[in-house]
A = this chain, B = another copy of it.
């Protein structure tokens, strides 16, 4: 390789990012070098800042720059509703939808017998604590509609039985979805959960 070693290191590290391989990492690095002032320098700064400040919220597991994240500290969020998500990415997706006004609890994964992930590897004990100590009236399970996600949802629902209302996201046809392109499972779930018009 003719590229000097600093560039090689950068390409190698970029190639480790999800969604980038060696080829797209090289393309990204060339782009960075060409747009040094506009992209590379601000990006290097932003990375350094995030590396220094980002941390997990001690309460809910969201990523923030303080011990308690913005959502946990905000007085504007409803106290009673707690939305349980697998991952910070799912929390961000919920926030983008902009309809949920309560607080969150990030599990950090799902139960998985294959990967030996039990309740104590996730933030499930902390969830039970929060339900006991905060004035939670409803726990909304917004877990992915995968086998592991649904197993985890059932486990949590069992743990919280008779203590609080537990709900989960509705399953059905996505907005804009065409029946012809939907899988059988989604169609039968939508049919079972049909509503009167």
Q: Which residues of A contact B (CB under 8 A)?
A: 1-4, 6-7, 9-10, 13-14, 16-20, 24, 26-33, 36, 39-44, 46-51, 53-54, 62-65, 69-71, 87-89, 91-92, 95-96
Contacts and interface: CB of A to CB of B under 8 A. Distances in A.
A50 B3 CA distance: 12
Contacts of A30: 63, 87-89
- A-B pairs, 9 with minimum CB distance: A44-B47, A19-B24, A10-B46, A17-B28, A13-B43, A44-B48, A2-B95, A4-B65, A9-B46
A6 B46 CA distance: 7
A10 B47 contact: yes
A43 B47 contact: yes
Contact of A46 (B13, B26, B49): B13
Main secondary structure of the interface of A (DSSP, over half): helix
Contacts of A19: 19-20, 24, 27-28
Copies of this chain held together in the complex: 2
26 contacts: A1-B96, A2-B69, A2-B70, A2-B71, A2-B91, A2-B95, A4-B63, A4-B65, A4-B70, A7-B54, A7-B63, A9-B42, A10-B50, A13-B39, A13-B43, A17-B28, A17-B39, A19-B20, A19-B24, A19-B28, A30-B87, A32-B47, A33-B50, A33-B63, A44-B47, A44-B51
A89 B32 CA distance: 13
Contacts of A44: 44, 47-48, 51
Q: Which of A7, A69, A71, A96 has the most CB of B within 10 A?
A: A7
Q: Which of A4, A27, A32 has the most CB of B within 10 A?
A: A4
